[in-house]
Amino acid sequence: MSDIPILAAEDVTKHFESRDGVGRHVTVRAVENVTLRLHRGRIAALVGESGSGKTTLARLLAQFYPVTSGRILLRGEPVTGPDRRFAGEVQLVFQDPFASLNSLRRVEHNLRRALKLHAHPAGDEHVRELLGKVNLTPEAEFARKLPHELSGGQRQRVAIARALAVRPSVLLGDEPISMLDVSIRLDVLNLLARLRDEEGLALLYITHDIASARYLSDDVFVMYAGQMVEGGPAESVIQEPKHPYTRLLVDSSPDPERAAGSSAFTAAEKLGEPPSLVDPPPGCRFHPRCPFARDECRTEFPPRTEFPDGGWTNCWLHVTRPEDTPTP
């Protein structure tokens, strides 16, 4: 793992200007001071509920829109805007493979177009090589198919092949399996893992499925209402969550191994819902739902606390204040 991340968001903030139901001007504080770094040959999972800012962060990384503040760095260099060179390095895979392919054109056309746009050789053999990489065999047969002749999983693999056509170093997957049938999801996850191992891709895997994040990723990052609240090695974040929100997410996830009646959910019942991003609570945005909230949580976003296992969290529960330290 090289020290310079291939793609990084450094302290980025994104506010959207919008109008509310009666036409008043409002600011939606979608992402606040978030840092996320993607490394070669590693998969980072980004988890959180809808509206937590996961997709906004991915789109900032992909230069879909400019940051309000902060920087996006490609190999340590600030990125100035979306251009062909940037698109040649960073590719997105979307949630809905039924909407992301040109449905009037054959698979080979969809792939060849990406090859040509990025000035790569676009012969039949190159199209077949891409299809081979995503296990769509026999390649020649799949190349001739129209998107509607494919299943959801096959389409998503075509979408991934198209992303690979530009020979990117970073793949940003926004819920790439959530619309696929259960029995073929693992296929796509295993494919992503192989691309990490064999092609050395840096991957961002956005999901709300904690178990799949654990299965696929090396690192897990947790967002809540636009703030990054915890991150670190996947196993440590999921098995020993430090932030109360991460614990709530893990405890809420389906777990057939969980002994009946042992769950924390009865308590989850009265926890309410994530806040409005137009008028988010001050301090830690999770404090209105947090059973451990204290005074400082309501006024100030907590600093980062780092742990020996490489994990970290922004939570006042883990902040050692000077007055807590016994004086010798």
DSSP string, 115-178: HHHTT---SHHHHHHHHHHTT--SHHHHHT--GGGS-HHHHHHHHHHHHHHT--SEEEEESTTT
Contact 55, 206 (CB under 8 A): yes
Cα–Cα distance between 109 and 104 in angstroms, integer?
10
Closer of 28 and 165 to other proteins (Cβ): 28
Neighbouring C-beta atoms of residue 309, cutoff 10 Å:
12
Rounded least distance, CB 257 to other proteins, Å: 6
Rounded least distance, CB 313 to other proteins, Å: 18
Rounded least distance, CB 278 to other proteins, Å: 14
Instruction: Give the burial class of 182: count Cβ atoms within 10 A of its Cβ; 0-12 exposed, 13-18 middle, 19 or more buried.
Output: exposed
Closer of 7 and 44 to other proteins (Cβ): 44
Rounded least distance, CB 40 to other proteins, Å: 22
Neighbouring C-beta atoms of residue 289, cutoff 10 Å:
20
Kindly give, in sequence order, each residue whose CB lies less than 8 Å from that of residue 34, ignoring residues fewer than 6 positions away: 9, 11, 12, 13, 53, 57, 70, 223, 226, 227, 228
Residues that bind other proteins (CB under 8 A): 49-50, 151, 153-154, 181-187, 189-190, 208-212, 214-215, 238-239, 248-258, 260, 263, 265-266, 268-271, 273
Closer of 37 and 205 to other proteins (Cβ): 205
Rounded least distance, CB 191 to other proteins, Å: 11
Closer of 67 and 139 to other proteins (Cβ): 139
Rounded least distance, CB 29 to other proteins, Å: 18
Closer of 33 and 252 to other proteins (Cβ): 252
Closer of 140 and 271 to other proteins (Cβ): 271
Rounded least distance, CB 93 to other proteins, Å: 18
Contact 304, 233 (CB under 8 A): no
Closer of 257 and 323 to other proteins (Cβ): 257
Contact 177, 157 (CB under 8 A): no
Question: To 5 degrees, how large is the angle CA 29–CA 33–CA 39?
Answer: 125
Closer of 48 and 168 to other proteins (Cβ): 48
Rounded least distance, CB 254 to other proteins, Å: 4
Beta bridge partners of 173: 93, 205
Cα–Cα distance between 326 and 297 in angstroms, integer?
23
27 to each of 24, 30, 76, 277, 278, how far by Cα in Å?
10, 9, 30, 8, 6
Helix (H, G, I), strand (E, B) or coil at 225: coil
